[in-house]
Structure 1
Amino acid sequence: MELQGRVAMVTGAGRGIGAAVADALAARGAAVAVCDVNSEAAAESAAAVAGRHGVRTVGVTADVSEGAAVRAAVETAAAALGPVDVLVNNAAVDVVKRFVDSTEEEWDRIISVNLRGTITVTRAVLDGMIARGTGRIVHIASDAGRVGSSGEVVYSATKGGVIAFGKALAREVARHGITVNTVCPGPTDTALLGQVAEYSQKMYDATIRAIPLRRPAEPAEIAGVVAFLATDAAAYMTGQTLSVSGGLTMV
């Protein structure tokens, strides 16, 4: 139980990769605050994790693009479970279409959730981590942020920003005993991958064929890497960007 006695907060944890991450952290003994913009999904995911692993959980609601909501969610999590030791920034949105067909409203939403949201949630937990002299922060970016992805231009830009944010922050907070690392999933069996198939089945099929392992990832396969980064086994890793893509990208 490598995370016994620690409190984790996972954003976008009502489903998909976020829910799998919450489960993986709980399996290692962490108490988990399941944060999602959908309050019912957060509560259901938190209850399911508690039922499977017998750990303390709480469902909290926040749109990560809204600073006041984020700060309230962090306070609720801390009141229920204790201060956050492990933060996983997973919440993200996308609209799959050609850049020339996208709108300013879509750009603003993608940027505000994916990049600003990651920055906002991180800032909300950072003072406490610094005061305690310890912390683990893991960002979920995407290989789209490393190599680009057709139909996901602004999404790719935000995920590249998350990677850069993680590297720079890691340099600043290392002296406080805090590590910051970024996990970049490749195609994963989530609602987002379903958007790609809806946009272009041909693109989806070509992407899967290009993966050396010949299949998309399961959310649990991403979650295992995230959970490792939260443990003391990864205590000397910081500022790193890890692709979990079945070999689709080898950067």
Structure 2
Amino acid sequence: MHKLLLFIIFVAEVSCLDIAKAKGNLSENIRIESKILNYPLQYRVYTPAGMKQSDKLPTIYVTDGQWYLDPGKMLSVLDREITNGTIAPVIAVFVDNRNPDNLEQNRRNEQFFCNEKYVDFYKKELLPTIDASYPTANTRESRVIQGVSFGGLNAACFGLMAHEVFAGISMHSPANSKYLKDMRARYQKAEKLPIKIFLSFGKKRDNSVEGRKFRDLLISKGYQLDFKESKFGHEWKNWRPLLDDSLQWFFPPSP
């Protein structure tokens, strides 16, 4: 009996270690030739540990994906939150905004400002490709788009222009004050959209005045909103600690 108890404890400890060490898989860069944009893009895909082809998993699309992949940022958060059971397993698509043939050419300024072609690229090319290649749930309710700074502004654009395919809009410090004011006016004019929103700003040089006005407008229109403020500014000291908050907001574990 004593030996059996020790064996059970040993198996449990080994299982706990396996869970603690569980890491998802990150693909190499995958190239996609966009006919809509008339140029190539690249992206990398995170898949959670233990994923099965029979799964139907939610998906988060991350613009400026190469920044979110820097060491100590989103990958470790995904692994930790999934392992701890604080979020459901999720597939993450990290979309690189740079020219894959010349990484010094950054296209975010032409892509992120409510560019209809960029939105159509997601709707008609990227989403169908991901849904055909991975065990996604393939519903608007299961998809989130996330970005930081101008990428956050892009997420707001997707809320207006692509809510039929994205139900989750995650915005970390959408910038800048001029564009935020314009975005607030667009949301004020539009009917309430069927989207769930995460919005964050820093309190130090991070467009917080216009950010709070945008927050107040979204609340007044009855949006399902999680709003966070950090003591830091327009930097990763602000955004990194909020990654788990946004993931938990959109991907709660199954009851």
Q: Greater strand share, 1 or 2?
A: 2
State whether TM-score is above 0.5.
no
With normalisation by structure 1, the TM-score equals 0.45
